């Protein structure tokens, strides 16, 4: 641990976040200072933040880009700050985060990664969880990309990142907030930097979210053809998304082919096996469900990247297996798998009803 106490500043951008502002400020108050750039609120966000000790300035960013807004917010950080912590107002740190950060931070550290829960399941359990890296040394980073912005290092010394054990940030997303700006901003990002493979993947995924199946397929195939697109996990995701689009277009054979490619690309991930099991389930191909779901469950190590999907690590594999085993006449295995599914989703009434039904079949 450093002898010198670090000066830590939390910074954020916000707009019309009055329902989150007080909660956010409270969870950030372990920092020495908390600052926020308001980008045009017409509700009570600014007053709530100020009442909770946050320094706030307002500036309209036009045309809107997330990187510009975040770089403007960095200008509010005091010059004598050692460590900058970027969060959003719908995020909450679990208490004790500062002590954990100071314990891990070293004189040569330039950035820190920590555990992030992106969403929660309806029963309150964690959904998608991965490691993020939005804590950085003052004065040597800037934000880039109009959306899905990332930090770019501009310092002279070698980069040195640390993992802060036990530091936890939770995201409680506002489901009512529009994502309409994401697609045009991603199209802008790709036009500005056509060689950025991550943005190409994101754009293809966004087309998929919008139901633009052919645009998604074309863009995701472009991603896979890029020489810089070498991360197997993300390539696998592009293949899985192409398969989803193919199925939506009625090309089930094409979907199967792309899912086989996805498994071959990243056999260490559960997600492609689970996607293939889902497809087999929708086709009532029960032995296929059993094979792919069982293969998925052989993978015990959960990834720490954003590619990891909650469904693959929850009750879904066991739930599908229980139904598939039932349809193949193996009631004992159906009951066993359903018991596992209930343990993972104890509030799911459908699964509990299935359990009661399978119990009658094994008497």
Distances, alpha carbon 101 to alpha carbons 1, 22, 273, in Å: 10, 23, 37
Two tokens at 33? 């200072």
pLDDT of residue 1: 41
Domains of the chain by residue range: 8-171, 182-302, 314-363
Strand order in the sheet with 83-86: 55-58, 33-38, 8-14, 83-86, 129-137, 111-117, 161-171, 91-93
Averaged over successive runs of 10 residues, the pLDDT of the chain (363 residues) comes to 78 97 98 98 97 98 97 98 98 97 97 96 87 97 97 96 98 82 96 97 98 98 98 98 98 98 98 98 98 98 90 96 97 97 94 95 75
pLDDT of residue 179: 79
CB-based contacts of 115, cutoff 8 Å, min separation 6 = 129, 130, 131, 167, 168, 169
Q: By C-alpha distance, which of 205, 177, 199, 201 is closest to 186? A: 199
The position carrying tokens 């990243």 is 266
pLDDT of residue 114: 98
* Residues forming beta bridges with residue 93, ordered by sequence position: 169
CATH of segment(s) 8-171: 3.90.550.10
* Residues forming beta bridges with residue 91, ordered by sequence position: 171
Burial 210-219 (b: 16+ CB within 10 A, else e): eebbebbbeb
Q: Does domain 182-302 have CATH number 1.25.40.10?
A: yes
């Amino acid at each position: 641990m450093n002898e010198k106490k670090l000066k830590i500043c939390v910074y954020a951008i916000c707009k019309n976040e009055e329902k989150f502002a007080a909660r956010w400020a409270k969870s950030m108050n372990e920092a020495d200072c908390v600052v926020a750039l308001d980008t045009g609120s017409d509700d009570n966000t600014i007053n709530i933040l100020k009442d909770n000790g946050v320094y706030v300035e307002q500036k309209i960013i036009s045309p809107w880009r997330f990187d510009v807004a975040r770089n403007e917010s960095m200008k509010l950080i005091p010059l004598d700050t050692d460590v900058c912590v970027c969060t959003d107002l719908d995020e909450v740190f679990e208490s004790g985060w500062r002590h954990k950060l100071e314990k891990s931070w070293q004189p040569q550290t330039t950035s820190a990664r920590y555990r992030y829960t992106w969403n929660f399941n309806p029963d309150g359990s964690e959904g998608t969880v991965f490691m993020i890296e939005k804590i950085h040394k003052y004065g040597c980073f800037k934000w880039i990309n109009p959306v899905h912005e990332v930090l770019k290092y501009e310092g002279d010394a070698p980069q040195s990142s640390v993992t802060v054990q036990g530091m936890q940030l939770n995201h409680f997303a506002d489901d009512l907030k529009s994502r309409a700006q994401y697609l045009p901003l991603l199209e802008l990002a790709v036009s500005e930097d056509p060689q950025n493979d991550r943005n190409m993947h994101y754009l293809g995924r966004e087309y998929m979210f919008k139901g633009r199946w052919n645009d998604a397929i074309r863009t995701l195939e472009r991603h896979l053809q890029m020489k810089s697109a070498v991360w197997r996990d993300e390539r696998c995701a592009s293949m899985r998304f192409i398969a989803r689009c193919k199925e939506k277009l009625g090309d089930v054979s094409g979907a199967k082919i792309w899912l086989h490619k996805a498994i071959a690309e990243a056999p260490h991930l559960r997600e492609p096996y689970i996607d293939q099991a889902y497809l087999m389930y929708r086709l009532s191909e029960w032995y296929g469900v059993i094979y792919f779901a069982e293969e998925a469950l052989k993978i015990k190590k959960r990834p720490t990247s954003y590619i990891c999907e909650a469904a693959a690590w929850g009750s879904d594999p066991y739930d599908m297996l229980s139904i598939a085993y039932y349809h193949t006449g193996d009631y004992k295995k159906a009951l066993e798998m359903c018991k596992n599914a209930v343990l993972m989703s104890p509030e799911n009434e459908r699964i509990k009803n299935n359990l009661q039904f399978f119990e009658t079949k094994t008497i």
